[in-house]
Chains A and B, each alone.
Chain A
Amino acid sequence: MDPQISLSVALCLIPAACCGIVEGLATGKAVEAVARQPEASGKITSMLMMGLALTEASSIYGFVIALIMLFS
């Protein structure tokens, strides 16, 4: 494989690492919120799911671009 392509695929997956850190932070905040206000856990869970999916989008874009570079 062309070394330039390998390098750029690796660079494309940096967002995945950042996304892991940020999702951990968000989940920690959600746990804090539930501990402070257990009666609001349903709303917090749905908001957390929504936010996590939106955050994950950035790493997914990187992943899709990496796939396109690798396999086509």
Chain B
Amino acid sequence: MHFRDFIPSLVGLALALAGFLLRQKARKKLSAASAAKAPAKWLKRRKTLWTAISVIGCWIFIVNILTLVFGDLPHEELTVSIIPPRAEFSILGYTPSTTMLVGWGVMAALIVIAVLLRIFVIPRFESVPRGVQNALEAVVELAEGYSSSKTVYLGQPMFGYIFTVGAVLIGFAFAELFGFRSPSSDITFTLALSLISFVMANWYGIRQRSVRGRLKSLANPSPLLMPIRIVTDLANPVSMACRLFGNTVSGMIVMDLVYSFLGSAAVGIPSVLGLYFNVFAALVQAFIFITLTLININEATTE
């Protein structure tokens, strides 16, 4: 290894240290100025500038050190597989896909959290909430209010289902942040989830209003339009499945592009972008999925 290889990381370290020291100096000056009178704008700006330089220096240093230790990442062509890869082992002659394993992991984590909350937190509830109890009550109240505001009859029983779906989808979003492939980027999972909501809407619709009433609601504006209404109803689960799948996959592809573009410099930047592309988009989609489920059920059960 030659000394020349160390120069970029040394430059980064020097930048980081210089930026940090100058920032401390600027901060002292700023606090002295603000004690006397209103601080000048350029002092604040200078402090921000030194902070940015220090952060950039840190980034250069870390990237170069990582490149030195692990070597350059090989550049490979970007490939996207719509069907997720299979696991390397098989259970009873059946090979599960990797997304399914991730899904089981997330579900296990959620179950453990729920059991821990049930054992340690819920028996100690007080009439004046504080801490964890406060947060739990706020979340449950929000979901309950939302589900009963969207549906006329089934707000209370639907609340448990939509809370479960929301928790699972959010868990998957956070699993994607850790580098696993999210199960909602597997079209079989999203189709299963939307079929559940389709069957649920029809089941509750028939139970609430009998088969005759359900058929009557399908022939709503005029019986002539009934085939179109039936096709629309049947297309609903497909559209919900494609929506969730497409959004998750597009976020995944964007993140893959970012990783392949940055190569070995992918330190820190992907985590900031991932917060938007993997987490925020997935949260909005979870919200939309829940809302559409509630709207379908409401449409099936009310006159």
Contacts and interface: CB of A to CB of B under 8 A. Distances in A.
A55 to B, nearest CB: 11
Interface stretch (A21-29, A33-41, A64-72): A64-72
B246 A60 contact: yes
A54 B250 CA distance: 16
B80 A60 contact: no
Contacts of B250: 60, 63
Nearest to B287: A49
B74 to A, nearest CB: 22
Tell which of B246, B247, B249 has the most Cβ of chain A within 10 Å: B246
A50 interface: yes
Given A67-B80, A67-B82, A68-B82, A53 B285 contact: yes
B22 to A, nearest CB: 41
A71 B245 contact: no
A57 interface: yes
A70 B78 CA distance: 13
A61 B242 contact: yes
Interface in A43-60: 49-50, 53-54, 56-57, 60
Nearest to A72: B82
B8 to A, nearest CB: 38
A42 to B, nearest CB: 12
B132 interface: no
B191 to A, nearest CB: 12
B116 interface: no
B243 A57 contact: yes
A53 B288 contact: yes
A18 B199 CA distance: 33
Given A50-B291, A53-B285, A53-B288, A67 B249 contact: yes
A70 B79 CA distance: 11
Interface string B262-293: 00000000000000000000001101100100
Contacts of A67: 80, 82, 249
Given A49-B287, A50-B288, A57-B239, A63 B81 contact: no
B80 A71 contact: yes
A53 B82 CA distance: 22
B83 A60 contact: no
Nearest to A61: B242
A64 B239 CA distance: 11
A22 B230 CA distance: 28
A57 B284 CA distance: 13
A10 to B, nearest CB: 17
A68 B187 CA distance: 12
Interface of B: 80-83, 239, 242-243, 245-247, 249-250, 284-285, 287-288, 291
- The 5 A-B residue pairs with the shortest CB-CB distance, nearest first, are A60-B246, A53-B288, A64-B246, A57-B243, A71-B82
Given A56-B247, A71-B80, 15 more contacts: A49-B284, A49-B288, A50-B288, A50-B291, A53-B243, A56-B243, A57-B243, A60-B250, A61-B239, A61-B242, A63-B250, A67-B82, A67-B249, A71-B82, A72-B82
6 contacts: A49-B288, A57-B242, A60-B242, A61-B239, A67-B80, A67-B249
